[in-house]
Amino acid sequence: MADEIRAEMVANVWKVIKSAGDAVAEGDTLVILESMKMEIPVLAETDGTVIEIAVNEGDVVQEGDLIAVVE
């Protein structure tokens, strides 16, 4: 089952850690956002494989934007 991970707030994509095809475990950091004086890791919510990372470093994401898909 594909798990779509979306941004919870407006943020700057500071680091992209994982790539499509990577195997991940629940809790692994996929992407790190920077916003509002905080560093916000975006975590895999299930074990699986990264199908897509939908952002690049330096992108701005809006609340609800797709960040990654894990299956």
Partner 1 sequence: MGIQVRPATPADHPAVARLTVEAYRADGQLEAETGRYADVLADVAGRADQTEILVAVDSDGGADGGVLGAVAFVLPGSAFAELARPGEAEFRMLAVDPSAQGRGVGQALVRACVARAREVRASGILIFTRSFAERAQRFYTRMGFVRAPEHDRSPMPGVDLLALHLPITPAEV
- Can you give the binding site for partner 1, defined by CB under 8 A? 9-10, 12-14, 34-41, 57-60
Closest CB to partner 1 among 47 and 62? 62
The minimum distance between CB 55 and partner 1, in angstroms, equals 11
Looking at the Cβ atoms of 40 and 51, the one nearer to partner 1 is 40
Q: Sort 25 into a burial class: Cβ within 10 Å, 0-12 / 13-18 / 19+.
A: exposed
Q: Which is nearer to partner 1, 25 or 60 (CB)?
A: 60
Going across the sheet that includes 11-16, the strands are 38-43, 29-35, 11-16, 60-61
Within the chain, how many helices (H) and strands (E) appear? Answer: 0, 8
Q: Give least dist CB 52 to partner 1, A.
A: 20
